[in-house]
Structure 1
Amino acid sequence: MKRAPLLSLLLALGVSHADARVRLGDTLPTHPWTSAGREVVVVYSHDCGDLGDLWSAVLASGLPVRAVNAENITSPAPGGLKAWSGPDATAFARALKVGAYPTVLLVQGERILNAWEGTFTGDLGLMD
């Protein structure tokens, strides 16, 4: 049986949920940072629980990491990262249509290459 091209692409990119609302290929909404070529954006809220493993994995990627603390209750990012928070950060998350926190985005040139909503195994799918 031959797979549909879009389904094959989604499986190859590692999207874990068929109902993910963040759309691959979309551009990021307005944000306060200067974009790097390829970067990781972590959108989280105060009620995500322990994100130690998530932060360790994204920081180990070697890519620039952007922390977005949504939902207007301050929750710190790990040392060395300044989280963007407040109403504009929440508006950013809502413009992305984030379905679950934390959401990890692999972004290149302002376009979303991959997204993990609510679950992240630590594998960004980057070739070593």
Structure 2
Amino acid sequence: MRPMRHAPLLTLLLALGTPDAGARVRLGELLPSHPWTSGEREVVVVYSHDCGDLGDLWGAVLGAGLPVRAVNAEDVPAPAPKGVNVWRGPEATAFARALRVGAYPTVLLVREGRVLNAWEGNFGGNLGLVGTAGR
């Protein structure tokens, strides 16, 4: 019997869980104005300087195999993984506020510029994978 393997996007969705009923980001809405050209599917990470260690979150997001857009809101620079372009400044903060982000970090799964799924809050690092200790 072969071990079950999860697709990277499925792993990301399992890691993020289901949207919180209290989430303010509205599913199906178009993203507010932004500086990138939207792809068919992409992940948008909206975060701030006071999110703490986002290593597990970045690992899950980058492992999904989709383009990643990083939005560093609230005017205090915070790092992102090497190779990820970060949008910072007042326009990035305005983007987060126009989305009605309720908590940082917020991860959006976007299809053709529309929010398909949203997750807000702290990431516990559990990707929902069985038998992959040490990964």
Where on the TM-score scale, by shorter chain, does this alignment land: which range?
0.7 to 0.9
Residue 107 of structure 2 corresponds to 104
Contact 1:58 1:122 (8 Å CA) reproduced: no
Tell me the TM-score normalized by structure 2: 0.78
More off after superposition, 15-24 vs 93-102: 15-24
Question: Equivalent residue for 1:66?
Answer: 69
Counterpart for residue 114 of structure 1: 117
Q: Distance in 2 between matches of 1:41 and 1:108?
A: 11
**1:81 alignment partner, one of 70, 79, 84:** 84
- Within a 5 Å distance, the mapping from 1:1-128 to structure 2 comes to 14-120=17-123, 122=127
Distance in 2, matches of 1:43 and 1:106, equals 12
8 Å CA contact 1:54–1:122 kept in 2: the answer is: no
Count of residues paired in the alignment: 110
Counterpart amino acid of residue 30 in structure 2: T
User: CA 1:16 to 1:76, structure 2 compared with 1: closer, same or farther past 3 Å?
Assistant: same
How far the C-alpha of 1:122 sits from its partner, in A, is 4.8
Does the Cα contact within 8 Å between 1:41 and 1:65 map onto a contact in 2?
A: yes
Q: 1:19 to 1:48 in 2, by over 3 A?
A: same
Share of identical aligned residues, percent? 72
CA RMSD of aligned residues (A): 1.3
Q: Compute the displacement of 1:15 (Å).
A: 3.0
Shift of 1:16: 3.6
| SS at structure 1 position matched to 2:28 | coil
What residue identity is the alignment partner of 1:44?
Answer: Y
1:119 to partner: Cα distance: 3.7
Residue 95 of structure 2: SS of its match in structure 1? helix
